[in-house]
Structure 1
Amino acid sequence: MSQTAKQATDLRLPPERAGRPAPAEVAARREGMTGAVAAGTWRTTPAPEETSLDGVRVLRFRPSGPARGLVLHLHGGGFRLGCPEMIGPYAAALAARCGVEVVCPTYRLAPEHPFPAGLNDAHTVYRALRREGARPLIVSGDSAGGGLAASLTALAAGEGAAPAGLILLSAWLDLTVSAGSYWTNAATDPLFSQESAETAADLYLQGHASSDPLASPLFATLEGFPPTLVSLGEGEVLADDARKFHAALQAAGVAAQLQTVAGMEHVAVTRGLTLTGAAETFERVAGFVDGLTQAG
């Protein structure tokens, strides 16, 4: 049996499970995000189209002309926070710069909806976008959304339907929370920590094995993965996740690029293009997308 066929056999999404209510701190942070959306914090011009793909709410950011491709981007937030609106300025800028459509889904969040609910939603949207036509379809994600993007790619590759490319921005790829960079970079990462990662992983997994390759794609079989861009800030606690995943991709024969930026904070490029390293990262992402969507 080939590695790809074996992966298709091994990677099976478990049944969805009932979750538990969100802690007060998570509920309060979500309420703050809802207020920010209502206040127009991440509003873009033109506004995205709000629609549904097989029951999953999505925002679709379109270029001014015909789209050369599609980018399915999954937002971060530790699997328990976040919304597609917060990615709006980044998605709109990428759509305008590369002439692609960027689709951002509202996937279900933990702890009310533990693993694999969010991944199921991402998979649903991915399959719906594949049915739309032959344009190159790229999967992308930041932080926990990067983990979902890599898990989705593993699932799709096992089905013989890998995307045209994969973009991982400060991705959280190992929910065992055991990487050495949680300690070595603790003082240089103000946005994420070992403690917050352990809390988020517990809310998301709720007893499911953290070593499951669809929860921690660092442990997935990577044969059949498409060209991949892995981007990180050198001082992030997730730096080891990114470097190990890039090395594993290379070992599997995948065309993988690694971008490390000194002084760049966690998911800077999706938080604001004026942040340190964000503009540099955006141009690297744009060049990667151009390479997959421009003919000739």
Structure 2
Amino acid sequence: MSLAMNLTRALLRARPNVFRTERTLREALGHLRPDAPLPAALRRTCTVGRRTVDGHEVITLTPKRGATGTEVIYLHGGAYVRPLVAAHWRIVAALIRRTGATVTVPFYGLAPRYTADDAYRFLDTVYRTVLARAGDHPVFLAGDSCGAGLAVGLAIHCRDEGLRAPNGLILFSPWLDVTMTNPAIARLAPHDPMLAPEGLAAAGRAWAGPRPVTDPLISPLHDTLHDLPPTWIHQGGRDIFLPDTEAFTTKANATGTPTTLHVWPTAFHVFVGAGWTREARRALDEAGERIRSGGRK
């Protein structure tokens, strides 16, 4: 474990865990800040496209130098109830630097005002637009936390609707089962400085709306996971999502969906946002290599 990882985890542990209970989550949602603005560095290095789809903003970033034509749709985390933060822009910037890809960031609506049904209607339009622009170039879905779970859900949607499949999925600490019922979660909960099952389960119920929380578009672990794109996962070992990520990997590989899980034993949830750590840089390097290769194993 790097010293930077150790210090960062200690700082995170000193902050209140808003997911500790359903009540603490509701209180935190009453004081949400808006989405973090696009950093000046990305405005300098990328051509920025902005448009509105179904009332939601979509930002597209194309590097001014070294653009490859590869497309990435990046879906941010936040338990479906919290906005995009600065760490998400750091991940996006890191992927652009490493790949030359054009990255599209859709600002999907958050629960409880919006539900998964709203998000999939919106993302279907975004995905079809990116496919049309990409032509013969690779298209990837990527995301962190709930955004990574939503990326898997979108791949399931593409499979079921007969759309061209993404070339691959790049998942950072994915949330794959909003029920939070895996018994192994309790073992990890004392070691996770950021997450807790009760608040997360409440957020998952709000996101599901009229759907059951076990619907595969809400909790992709409950899908058959057949005929999905090659998937690469980077997961912290001090993260309560680890047991479900391990179960997902085993199930996906058993059904013929090639899935690679890299567990960073001492890392916390979405550690790739802490780019000052050696672990984050190495994980992002590996993710970038997969994108540059076009998703080939």
Helix, strand or coil for the counterpart of 2:37? helix
1:150 counterpart residue number? 152
Give 1:249 deviation, angstroms: 1.2
Q: Are the equivalent residues in 1 in contact too, given 2:87–2:274 (CA < 8 A)?
A: no
Give 1:54 deviation, angstroms: 4.0
One-letter amino acid of the counterpart of residue 179, structure 1: N
Q: Are the equivalent residues in 1 in contact too, given 2:52–2:58 (CA < 8 A)?
A: yes
Matches of residues 1-296 of structure 1 in structure 2 within 5 Å? Answer: 23=26, 25-29=28-32, 31=33, 33-34=34-35, 37=37, 45-46=44-45, 49-52=48-51, 54-55=53-54, 56-63=56-63, 64-83=65-84, 86-132=87-133, 133-160=135-162, 161-206=164-209, 208-269=211-272, 271-275=273-277, 277-292=279-294
**Which of 53-62 and 178-187 deviates more?**
53-62
2:197 & 2:251 partners in 1: Cα distance? 23
1:221 & 1:146 partners in 2: Cα distance? 18
Helix, strand or coil for the counterpart of 2:288? helix
One-letter amino acid of the counterpart of residue 28, structure 1: H
Give 1:277 deviation, angstroms: 2.1
Helix, strand or coil for the counterpart of 1:96? helix
One-letter amino acid of the counterpart of residue 80, structure 2: F
1:124 & 1:157 partners in 2: Cα distance? 15
1:18-55 residue CA offsets vs partner (Å, 9 max, x unmatched): xxxx95531312x2x45x539x6996643561412644
1:144-197 residue CA offsets vs partner (Å, 9 max, x unmatched): 001100000011022232111011111001112101232011111111111221
One-letter amino acid of the counterpart of residue 60, structure 1: T
1:238-288 residue CA offsets vs partner (Å, 9 max, x unmatched): 00121111111101112211100011110111x221136211211121121
Higher RCO structure, 1 or 2 (CA under 8 Å, sep 6+) = 2
TM-score, structure 1 as length reference:
0.83
Give 1:82 deviation, angstroms: 1.7
Give 1:229 deviation, angstroms: 0.3
One-letter amino acid of the counterpart of residue 49, structure 1: V
Give 1:131 deviation, angstroms: 1.4
Q: What do you get for the CA RMSD once the two structures are aligned?
A: 2.4
Q: 1:107 to 1:95 in 2, by over 3 A?
A: same
TM-score, structure 2 as length reference:
0.82
**Which of 88-97 and 200-209 deviates more?**
200-209
One-letter amino acid of the counterpart of residue 153, structure 2: S
Q: 1:250 to 1:53 in 2, by over 3 A?
A: farther
Q: Are the equivalent residues in 2 in contact too, given 1:153–1:225 (CA < 8 A)?
A: yes
Q: Are the equivalent residues in 1 in contact too, given 2:71–2:140 (CA < 8 A)?
A: yes
Task: Give unpaired runs (5+ residues) of structure 2.
Answer: 1-24
Q: Are the equivalent residues in 2 in contact too, given 1:262–1:277 (CA < 8 A)?
A: no
Helix, strand or coil for the counterpart of 1:37? coil
Q: Are the equivalent residues in 1 in contact too, given 2:168–2:295 (CA < 8 A)?
A: no
2:7 counterpart residue number? none
**Which of 55-64 and 206-215 deviates more?**
55-64
2:9 counterpart residue number? none
1:87-141 residue CA offsets vs partner (Å, 9 max, x unmatched): 2222122112111111111111110012221232222211111111221100011
Task: Give unpaired runs (5+ residues) of structure 1.
Answer: 1-21
